[in-house]
Structure 1
Amino acid sequence: MATETTTDRRTSAASADAAARANGQAPLLDVRNLKTYFFTEDGVMPAVDGVTFSLRRGGTLGILGESGCGKSVTSLSIMRLVPQPPGRIVGGEVIFEGEDLLRKKESEMRRIRGKEIAMIFQEPMTSLNPVFTVGNQIMEAIMLHQRVSKAEARRQAIEMLRLVGIPSPERRVDDYPHQMSGGMRQRVMIAMALSCNPKLLIADEPTTALDVTIQAQILDLMRDLQRRLGTAVMLITHNMGVIAELVEHVVVMYAGKIVESADVRSIFAMPRHPYTVGLLESVPKLHETRQRLKAIEGVVPSPYNMPKGCRFHPRCELAREICKQLEPPMMQVGPTQRVACWQYTNFEPVEMPAPGEAVPLWKAAAPGAGTAGGPATATRGGQGV
C-alpha cells in the first residue's frame, strides 16, 4: 500500500483550504503546530512548542496566560519578527489568506506587515520613535503601503487620529510621543496599526500600565473600530477582565503549549483545565467575600528545564502518576471546548513510538466515558474559533 508523503499531505491540505475559501468558510488565520525555539549558550528554549489555533474573518481571539507562557513569542512568530539569532521558527505553518507566511521571502513579509497584518506592541513609549512626531510615524506606514503623496498621507493621519478619539487632531499630529499621556500614546499606536485597514490586528497587552478608566476607553475603541472596519483581532493578555470584555474565543497557554481552548462563555462558566481554574480563582469577585485570594502555587517552569509529561503537573493539585510521565492529548469536552488534561479521559498507555513515528501515547475513552460535558475524545487537531 502506498504511503502518504509530507508533500502529499500538504497538497491535500492546500486543496481543502482552497475549497473552503471558495465557500467562504476558511479561517483568516490558521496556525498549525507552530514551534519557535531560542538557541542560547544555556541550551534550547522551546518558547512556543506545538501551538495550533485558528481565527475567523472579523472574529476576536484571546490568548491568555501568565508572563513567560509564550503569548508574545507566538504573535512575533506570526509576524516573522522573532529575533534571529537566537530565535528560530523550527516547525509548523502560519496560514494567512490561504498562504503559509513561513514560506514567504522577507521582502514579501514587509509588504504584508502593516498592510495585511498590523500589530500593537506592548509598550507604546518604547514602540514609538521619540525623535519623530506621531504624525510622521503614522504617515510613514501610509506612504509605504498606499503609495500616496505626503499631503494625502498627512490628511489620512489626521483622520486616523480623529477616528481613535484624539481631540484636536490637526494640532496633535505634530506632537512628539513624550508630549502625550499613556492613553493618548496607545491611541496613536492603534491609529498607526489601523491606518492601512489591515485584515488582522494583533494587540499585545494593549492596556498595559493604563488606569482602569483609560483601559475601558481603549477596549471600547477597539470594539467599535472592529465593528466599523471588520478587522479580525488577536488579543494577547493576562487580564481576565479584558478577555471577558472583548473576545469571542479563548486560548489558554502554559509553558509554550495550549492547555485549553473554548468560547469565552464556556471558559468563565465551566473552566476545565486546573490552570484555567486557578487563573479564574485568583481574580477577586464582587459577589464574594474572601480573606485571601487563591493562588497557584509555584512558578512557570524554566524553559531550559521543562518537566516531563504535563508541564503543569508540578503546580497541579490533581496531578496523578500519568501526568508526570506522558504529555496529555487535546480532549474534546464540549461543543467548542478542548482541554489537554489526563483527568478527562480513560487512558491505556501504549508503547513509546520509534523516532519519527506519529503513534499516539493513549487510547481514546470508550463512548460514554468522560465528563458531564460529553464523551472525552482524543484528537490530533488544534483549537478553532
Structure 2
Amino acid sequence: MPRASCVPAKLVTYKPTKLARNTPRLWNAKERIRTNVGLSPQDFYYLKYSGSPHPRILAQLNKSREEGDHSRYEQIYSRWLKLRYAEPAHGNWWNNEKALVSQYMENHPVLHRVSKDVRDFISSNPSLQPWQVDNLLRNPTRYFSVPKNVPLEDRQQVYFPAINDTVVLLRTTHLGPRYAVFQVPLHFNKLEMRDYLKSAYNVDVLHVRSTITQAKLTMKKTLSKNGQGYYVRAKSKKKMTCLLAKPFVYPEEIKDLSAFDNKEYWDSMFDQEQAYNDETTTKPNKTRSTTYKSQARAIVQEVKSSKEWKPTWVELRANRRAMGGAVTATSFLPQPALPTPSSNSPENGTKSKAEPAQQETLSQR
C-alpha cells in the first residue's frame, strides 16, 4: 500500500532481456563491466605505426582470389569500399561525423575487434586527443574507471535490478528545507543517488549521508504444541539524507486515495484480521463472548423477575425408565437362584408352590 506522504510513489525499471556473454554494453565511469574489449599489443602496434590500412586489406583480397573463395572476396571488397568512403580526407579518423566514424571502425581490419561500447564512445566524442584515444584502445577498463574521462551525459543510467526496488521520499519536516531523506534499496550507493536525482529531477546534491537501520528480533512460532520456536530478523532498511544545493518545499499530501484502492485494501485487512481472531486459540472469540453475556444477562433478569427460579430439566418418576418402558422396584433387587429339580425329590413330576411366583418374576423381567 503506497503511503500518501511518499513522493515519488514508485520508480521501476523492468529487467531487460538476457544478453549473451560477450555482448558489449554501455560504459560507466563508476563501475566498469568486464565485457569491454580493446586492442591487443600486436594490433595496437600495427594501428600506431603501420599507417594506412589499405595494404593489409589488399593482401587479404589477393589471398582470397588465389584460394578461389569468391564469397570471402566479395565480403572483403565491400568492406574496403565502405572504409574508403568513411575515411577522412585530412585529420584524425575520429574527428569526423558520428556515422562515418562508426562505419570506419566497423570496416577497419583492426578497429573492428574493439567492443561496441568503445566504438560508440569514440564516435560520440570527436574532441578526444590522440593520447586519450591510445589509452582508450589499449585498456578501456582503466580509462573508464576515471570519472573525469567520461562526460556526465555519456555515463550509464541508474539500473534497478529488481522490480520492487523503489526510491521513496520521506516527509521529515523537522529537518531543514535543504535536507531530503530517501528510503532506498540496500544495494543503492551514494553515487547512484546523486546520479538519480540529477538525471530524474535535475537536482544538485552537495552531500549524502547513508544509514542502515537493523530490524528487531521476533520469534516465529512453530506448528507443534511443544515447539519453542525460533528467532527471525526482518530485512534492514537503508536511508539516505541528501544535502541539496537549493531548498525545496514538500508537496501536498494526497487526500483522494481511491486511485490506490485504499478502501478495498483496508476492508480486506479487516476481514482477514477478523477471520484470524475467530480461528485463533490465544485470543477470545468476540462473537461467542457477546452471546454468552447476553444469555447470562437474560437469566439474571428472569431470576430477579420470578420469586423462585426453577431448573430447566424435567423430573422423571422413579417407576419410569428414561428410555421408555415400565419398571418396578423389584426388578432392581437381586433374585435368588432357581433350585434344580432332583429325581429323589418327592415333588418331582409335580408343580411346587414357588413355581408360579418364579414364573411371574421372569415374565416381569
Q: Which has the larger radius of gyration?
A: 2
Normalised by the length of structure 2, the TM-score is 0.28
Normalised by the length of structure 1, the TM-score is 0.27
Which structure: greater helix fraction? 2
Which structure: greater strand fraction? 1
